[in-house]
Amino acid sequence: MKLWLFNRKGPSGFSASSTAEEVTDGIDGSGLTAIVTGATSGIGTETARVLALRGVHVVMGVRDIAAGKDVKETIVKEIPSAKVDAMELDLSSLASVRNFASEYNIQHHQLNILINNAGIMGTPFMLSKDNIELQFATNHLGHFLLTNLLLDTMKKTARKSGGEGRIINVSSEGHRLAYHEGIRFDKINDPSGYNGFRAYSQSKLANILHANELARRLKEDGVDITANSVHPGAIATNIIRHNSLFRSMNTILHALPGIAGKCLLKNVQQVILNFQKQRNKI
């Protein structure tokens, strides 16, 4: 039996144990198009699946195109009517981001929803192909550029459809644990003093600041697009694969007795609730 606190409903009418399917029940997303980055596992896969279940045309931005095709096949097998595409996108490469956005704008004429979900966490110090610290490059800069390159398409879609566009940055409560100066703009690529988790937190702080400023500008411009950042909750996905400490903590939490474990960790289906809580519509 789950604790009452875990099942308690909030203002949205849903609880922490509600699933994405429950939250989106009765919603018709037909005619909408969404991009989900990092859709080959975890939160990204479930987001793509549930959006497709509700009739949304989902374009998965994936680094491993073979894995993307496997996810697509799995979704279509479960949902024969699903509209799902996989396009190559390596967020650690600015050239790859530009190529993805260019190809998308050529192949597709609308974009209603952009979910910037892909990310890495706790990596040893490494540089991206553009010689930028890998976590900052992947988690923030890649998504920042992607959003900017797709923004005109989203604006045109919002004006033409009369519907509200959505931009969602998947951030983390971990943003509170960034370096003491916040984002170390002058030391992004400095290996001295590098801490894998603080660098991750720094990139998550950047996600939030990006969403906040973008929301302000969109409102100022009178554009019917919202920009938000979300904390998905405590969940174990393969984002922890780079750090042995996080993997050990995950093992301990999963070993806790039923009620305690369920109170500390969500499953992927429950996490997606955070993407829908603000409004009970797509």
Residues annotated catalytic, as ranges? 194
Q: What is the CA radius of gyration of the chain?
A: 19
Residues paired with 165 in a beta bridge: 225
Tokens (6 digits) for 35: 């991009």
* Residue whose token pair is 């400490």: 245
Sheet-wide strand order for 113-116: 84-88, 57-62, 33-37, 113-116, 165-170, 225-230
Tokens (6 digits) for 36: 């989900």
DSSP labels for 204-250?
HHHHHHHHHHHHHHHHHTT-SEEEEEE---S---GGGGG-HHHHHHH
Tokens (6 digits) for 81: 């009517």
